[in-house]
Amino acid sequence: MENFIVSARKYRPQNFSTVVGQAHITTTLKNAIRNNQLAHAFLFCGPRGVGKTTCARILAKTINCENLQPDGEACDKCDSCRTFNDGASFNIHELDAASNNSVDDIRTLVDQVRFAPQAGKYKIYIIDEVHMLSSSAFNAFLKTLEEPPSYAIFILATTEKHKILPTILSRCQIFDFRRITIQDTVDHLQDIVSKEQLSAEADALHLIAQKTDGCMRDSLSTLDKIVSFTGGQLTYQNTLEHLNILDYDYFFRIMEGVLVQDIAGSLLIFDEILQKGFEGDNFLGGLAEFLRNLLVCKDDKVLHLMEVSANLKDRYRQMSGRLSAPYIVTALQLLNDTEIGYRMARNKRLHVEMALIRLCYLQQAVTLVSNEQTGEVVKKLDS
């Protein structure tokens, strides 16, 4: 515990096979390396913290490895690999275009490109947040990108692909990085928790993954924070408190109330939520996601779109079985309208309360309508 190092650095993947959730990219890169068909310019696009810089560094190490493995991975033992692992290689240059975006910055880089590497095969230039380069800097760079020396490889990374000029796009091999799924994030966090000999309930890790929405870097830094906050004992409850997330239990309870048209009960639960310091729109957003999950549960074909823990899945399924699909859809529509009106509403509490009351009445209304007029539709959606 005392030696707990920031996970994002300590657990930065050192080879392609340990990069989580980007197999479509790592496989292609490994094949290109093995077959000696490496492009000279790459564009790595995708959300923040999903492994762009990490993959760029692994690529740099691998193509300089003196003893490339048959599977396309670096050996991690040769001199070159060791200097890369120590962060001491002269063959990798990183430029953060967010803070160095002038023509002069690019000229300095272009000047360096002229010199062949003293050791190793390739020099790799990583330009992070490349969309931030000024247009004159872009132009100064274009010539080098068009005719790079054989030993130079450029890896441009960006979170905003649409801002990249077509002249650059057409000169790069483009890789689209994906946000990391909740399950992949949970598995990765679990792995770190075991290695660090900490303890964490699976549902607690799920909460972290859910909160950080596919960004691995944020998941790891959140894990770090909660570890120090809880002394390394993560439970669902203490993680919930730390992350300031609304407990799903509230939504199950609200729905129980709605099912029996218990208006008073539903309003009291909403009051509890407000007392805890949450805002009405947190609640509306959470309830909408909850209903969306109930809808997704209705069909096994789309069940994987519901990214919740195994425990919670069963609970969702049971609840979903008690509601008709038309009810859920109508309720979602109602919540959507309520969310749109929320900002304008003067009495926000009342605005949400009205929605809850209507949800209670809706249950009856939709059941009546669907039985009489749309029995067929309901059967289809429900089956």
Ligand X SMILES: Nc1ncnc2c1ncn2[C@@H]1O[C@H](COP(=O)(O)OP(=O)(O)OP(=O)(O)O)[C@@H](O)[C@H]1O
Residues forming the site for ligand X (CB under 6 A): 8-9, 11-13, 19-22, 48-54, 128, 157, 159, 180, 188, 216-217, 220
Q: How many helices (H) and strands (E) does the chain have?
A: 18, 7
Cβ proximity to ligand X: between 49 and 120 the closer is: 49
Cβ proximity to Zn ion: between 19 and 360 the closer is: 19
Q: Binds 75, which of Zn ion, ligand X, none (CB < 5 to 8 A, cut-off by type)?
A: Zn ion
The half-sphere exposure of 228 on its side-chain side, counting CA atoms within 13 A, is 11
CB proximity list for 101: less than 8 A, separation 6 or greater: 132, 133, 134, 137
Least CB distance from residue 82 to ligand X, whole Å?
Answer: 19
CB under 5 A: which stretch of 61-69, 108-116, 136-144, 368-376 binds Zn ion?
61-69
Q: Binds 214, which of ligand X, Zn ion, none (CB < 5 to 8 A, cut-off by type)?
A: none
Alpha carbon of residue 299 to chain centroid: 25
Q: Rule CB under 5 A: say whether 59 interacts with Zn ion.
A: no
Tell me the number of residues near Zn ion by CB under 5 A.
6
Alpha carbon of residue 235 to chain centroid: 22
Q: C-alpha angle 319/321/324, rounded to 5°?
A: 105
Least CB distance from residue 132 to ligand X, whole Å?
Answer: 12
15: β partners: none
Is there a contact between 146 and 171 (Cβ–Cβ < 8 Å)?
yes
Q: Rule CB under 5 A: say whether 121 interacts with Zn ion.
A: no
Q: Binds 81, which of ligand X, Zn ion, none (CB < 5 to 8 A, cut-off by type)?
A: Zn ion
Least CB distance from residue 100 to ligand X, whole Å?
Answer: 14
CA distances from 101 to 9, 73, 129, 144, 167 (A): 26, 33, 10, 16, 18
CA distances from 255 to 51, 172, 213, 287, 319 (A): 39, 51, 25, 9, 8
Least CB distance from residue 5 to ligand X, whole Å?
Answer: 11
Least CB distance from residue 215 to ligand X, whole Å?
Answer: 8
Least CB distance from residue 37 to Zn ion, whole Å?
Answer: 20
Cβ count within 10 A of residue 196: 19
Report helix, strand or coil for 124: strand
Cβ proximity to Zn ion: between 18 and 134 the closer is: 18
Cβ proximity to ligand X: between 105 and 339 the closer is: 105
Q: Binds 82, which of ligand X, Zn ion, none (CB < 5 to 8 A, cut-off by type)?
A: none
Q: Rule CB under 5 A: say whether 65 interacts with Zn ion.
A: yes
Q: Rule CB under 5 A: say whether 81 interacts with Zn ion.
A: yes
Report the interface residues with Zn ion, using CB under 5 A: 65, 67, 74-75, 78, 81
